[in-house]
Amino acid sequence: MENNWIVAKFGGSSVRDAQAMLRCCQIIENNPKIKVVVISATQNTTNQLETVSKTAQVGDGMGLELVVNEIINKHIYIARELFTSPAVLLELEVLCGELKALGALILKDRLCSPATMDELNSLGERMSSLLFADLLRLRIPKKIVQLLDARKIIKTNSDFQKAEPQIELIAKNCESQILPTINDETLFVTQGFIGSDSEDCTTTLGREGSDYSATLIGEGVSASLVQIWTDVTGIASCDPRLVDEVKFIKTISYDEATALASLGAKVLFPSTLLPTKRKNIPVFVGSSLYPDRGGTLITQEHDCAFSLKAISLLENKDGAFVSFVGTHIDKKNDLKNILLSYLGADCFQFTKVNIHSITFKIDQSKLEKSLAIKKAHLALSKFI
């Protein structure tokens, strides 16, 4: 029999405060197929945890205290607004104590190893998931809400801060810890981003890696769908923060969406679609603010002929690059010159082409990158 289980992941902006968490709760309540919920740290908390490490390493005790208090107060404020139960408040206090102790340790040693950074970073997801699970218990009393420690499921190698998941171990853990109790009464809540190595040391999958956690668990439980709830109504023709007139994409293939993510589109962590592609599980991307507005469905279906769907901007030490993403891009005659004629060959330099993308380097001495991306989107509009 086909499974009909959904794994739903809620990103940092979707759980930024009590109101946002309540919206996510409503999405879960409205869809009984959601069996596993993956939670990111509340918005900006992972950045703040990095500041904890930086201030402590340079011996800035005041700065450290300030940011530690900001993190603690933010979570206590959310807990108050959500009427978090006394037992969970005590658990939150323990995590706050861990945060203070780690900060103090880094301050004392003036050193934060990658392993310590992962331990520190794990606190963001552990705090948010703790509060979110309690909220679900309160709001959906007919469900048994089980808070799972993702470190017991997502086994990885010991490459701290960018750990590689161990697929077979994850499958085994899903089989023993989730599958036996997947039923209509139980709702699992776990953390995105974090895992653990063979010594049970905390690891993380890399910044923004919660999307990947969701698809790894989706693969492990053979879900019928993975939902990525974020702050945009799906994948658009360009980052809506860079261009006003974007077009949201109804369907896109795993390979195209992976190309887009790898070439700079922040909407998905680049490895997100590997597990779902292996098991042919569709992935939905939508907005937790406007869940009824639909979103993008990512599947293995792809266009048979040439198509362009979106552009992305990537910045690294070599410069700023704009990529046009689609399918059979390398088959289209003279595409490079056609695009350059729209873009202006004086400001863009062809870099590379393959089946799913064509990339140009922006000459930032002649054209600012924000204007370059607008120009590129205009060029894309001739094809979509």
Q: Beta 307-316 vs 283-287: how paired, if at all? A: unpaired
Q: Does 204 bind ligand ADP (CB under 6 A)?
A: no
Q: Does 12 bind ligand ADP (CB under 6 A)?
A: yes
Best CA proximity match to 16, nearest among 51, 62, 48: 48
Q: Does 232 bind ligand ADP (CB under 6 A)?
A: yes
Residues 176-195 that bind ligand ASP (CB under 6 A): 192-193
Q: Does 208 bind Mg ion (CB under 5 A)?
A: yes
* Identity at 224, one-letter amino acid code: S
214 in Cβ contact with 9 (< 8 Å): yes
Task: Measure the CA–CA gap between 38 and 193, rounded to whole angstroms.
Answer: 9
Q: Does 255 bind Mg ion (CB under 5 A)?
A: no
Best CA proximity match to 292, nearest among 21, 11, 26, 18: 26
Give the residue with the Cβ less far from Mg ion, 25 or 285.
Answer: 285
Coil/strand/helix, residue 43: coil
Task: Measure the CA–CA gap between 366 and 140, rounded to whole angstroms.
Answer: 57
Which of 5, 14, 27, 46 contacts ligand ASP by CB under 6 A? 46
For 37-49, give one letter per residue: b (16+ CB within 10 A) or e.
bbbbbbbbbbebb
Stretch that binds Mg ion, among 25-33, 135-143, 206-214, 355-363 (CB under 5 A): 206-214
Residue 92 Cβ, how far from ligand ASP at the closest point, in Å?
17
Give the residue with the Cβ less far from ligand ADP, 265 or 380.
Answer: 265
The DSSP code sequence of 164-203 is: PB-HHHHHHHHHHHTGGG-SSSEEEEEESSEEE-TT--EE
Give the residue with the Cβ less far from ligand ASP, 46 or 357.
Answer: 46
Site string for ligand ADP, 260-289 (x = CB under 6 A): -----xxx----------------------
Q: Does 119 bind Mg ion (CB under 5 A)?
A: no
Residues 57-96 that bind ligand ADP (CB under 6 A): none
Q: Beta 357-362 vs 348-353: how paired, if at all? A: antiparallel
Give the residue with the Cβ less far from ligand ASP, 12 or 165.
Answer: 12
**What are the residues facing 286 on neighbouring strands?**
229, 295
Q: Does 231 bind ligand ADP (CB under 6 A)?
A: yes
Residue 214 Cβ, how far from ligand ASP at the closest point, in Å?
9
Task: Measure the CA–CA gap between 147 and 132, rounded to whole angstroms.
Answer: 9
Which of 13, 40, 227, 272 contacts ligand ASP by CB under 6 A? 40
- Return residues touching Mg ion (CB under 5 A): 11, 208
Where do contacts with ligand ADP occur on this chain (CB under 6 A)?
11-14, 40, 208, 230-232, 235-236, 238-241, 265-267, 310
Interface residues toward ligand ASP, by CB under 6 A: 11-12, 40-41, 46, 124, 192-193, 207-210
